[in-house]
Amino acid sequence: MSAGPGDARGPAGAREGGAWLVVADAGWRAALRVARGARSEVSAVVVGPRPLADAVAAAGVPVLWVEPGTGTPAEAYAGALAVQVAAEQPALLVGTGHPASRVLLGAAAALVGARLLTGAVDVVPVAVATGAAGGGGTGAVAPAWTVRRALLDGAVVETVDSPAPLALVVDVAAEDEDEGAATALSPGTVRPLAAAPAAMTLSTVPSAEPAGGLEDARVVVAFGRGVRSRDDVALIERLADALGAELACSMPVADDRGWLDRSRYVGRSGRHIAPRLYLAVGISGAPQHLEGVRGAKVVAAVDQDRAARIFRVADYGAVGDLYEVVPALITALQR
């Protein structure tokens, strides 16, 4: 049987070399399942209301808990929590893809010097010999992990070996959030941590453009850097009108060019949408973009580069200049 990194670092019960769960949202059970695969002692740091900390403790995990003050973002505690977690020298950090969880995980990973992997599905410990005794090596065993992670909308599962320490981001399915309370024979303790937030919220107002329309849309037309100028956005708007579609874009169109509101970009760091039809125009199909359209029933694409990644996931594709294809599509739709 292989020894886990926790076993390799210290006696059972010692936290050093163990696994830490980072919790800031309701999807923590999926992350806990992954962490338990590590066969190390699992502890948790929870930023949120007391019932969240209690639920994690009820699953048998000792909890270090911070309750954000009114209007204080969970991320404001990232620095303080990272210091606490790093002091335990964890071999594994696990959290969800929730934005606050990612910030907390990233801060702790940076302090510990952990590698970061996204899309983790499971992890198992392996022990790697650093050199054979008598063969010039030390005969020591270095802790390491084998991780399976889902990529490209779950179409590909990659297996990765990594030495400890390692930080894993776990994608959470809706059913993980709905699961009832986990219980354990010996619930963990909840240890409150008094930490000063590093940031405060001054005001909370609705954004100029509510996202509801995009997330509920049956048809979405999105455009990317293939559109050459801001004036040309009108052409894509005409296509969206002809299809009765909501308009969306890739991240650089909103972030770098500012041609659409940031609430309109789709992808890992933007909106996750599930329309019946997603039509991408002049979007290359970077993995980070495709993460936002996993739920789309049908994907169609217009791109001049036949090798563009978007065509790997598209059900229908037109290889050509969007300035020719889109006007032709509009004409056909208006007939």
Ligand X SMILES: Cc1cc2nc3c(=O)[nH]c(=O)nc-3n(C[C@H](O)[C@H](O)[C@H](O)COP(=O)(O)OP(=O)(O)OC[C@H]3O[C@@H](n4cnc5c(N)ncnc54)[C@H](O)[C@@H]3O)c2cc1C
Counting contacts by CB under 6 A, is residue 268 touching ligand X? yes
Nearer to ligand X, 266 or 329 (CB): 266
For ligand X, the binding residue among 267, 278, 279, 293 (CB under 6 A) is 267
C-alpha to C-alpha distance for 108 and 22, rounded to whole angstroms: 9
Residue 331 CB, nearest approach to ligand X (Å): 17
For ligand X, the binding residue among 114, 308, 314, 330 (CB under 6 A) is 308
For ligand X, the binding residue among 130, 305, 327, 328 (CB under 6 A) is 305
Residue at token pair 């359209």: 293
Residue 303 CB, nearest approach to ligand X (Å): 4
Counting contacts by CB under 6 A, is residue 172 touching ligand X? no
C-alpha to C-alpha distance for 100 and 78, rounded to whole angstroms: 9
Residue 18 CB, nearest approach to ligand X (Å): 28
For ligand X, the binding residue among 9, 39, 264, 289 (CB under 6 A) is 289
Counting contacts by CB under 6 A, is residue 286 touching ligand X? yes
Contact between residue 28 and residue 35 where contact means Cβ atoms under 8 Å apart = no
Nearer to ligand X, 84 or 263 (CB): 263
Asked whether the CA dihedral 164, 167, 173, 177 is positive or negative, the reply is positive
Nearer to ligand X, 151 or 193 (CB): 151
Residue 125 CB, nearest approach to ligand X (Å): 28
Nearer to ligand X, 91 or 220 (CB): 220
Nearer to ligand X, 50 or 228 (CB): 228
C-alpha to C-alpha distance for 59 and 36, rounded to whole angstroms: 11
Q: What spatial distance separates the first Cα and last Cα of the chain, rounded to whole Å?
A: 69
Nearer to ligand X, 2 or 269 (CB): 269
Counting contacts by CB under 6 A, is residue 232 touching ligand X? no
174-182, Cβ contacts within 8 angstroms, sequence gap of 24 or more: 176/27, 176/29, 176/30, 177/26, 177/27, 179/29, 181/55, 181/58, 182/29, 182/32, 182/55, 182/58, 182/59
Please calculate the CA angle 151-157-159 and round it to the nearest 5 degrees. 110
Nearer to ligand X, 59 or 103 (CB): 103
Counting contacts by CB under 6 A, is residue 225 touching ligand X? yes
Pairing of strands 219-223, 277-281: parallel
Residue 253 CB, nearest approach to ligand X (Å): 6
154-163, Cβ contacts within 8 angstroms, sequence gap of 24 or more: 154/294, 155/313, 157/121, 160/117, 161/126, 162/115, 162/117, 163/115, 163/128
Summarize as ranges the residues that interact with ligand X (CB under 6 A). 224-226, 250-253, 265-270, 282-284, 286, 288-289, 292, 302-305, 308, 321-323
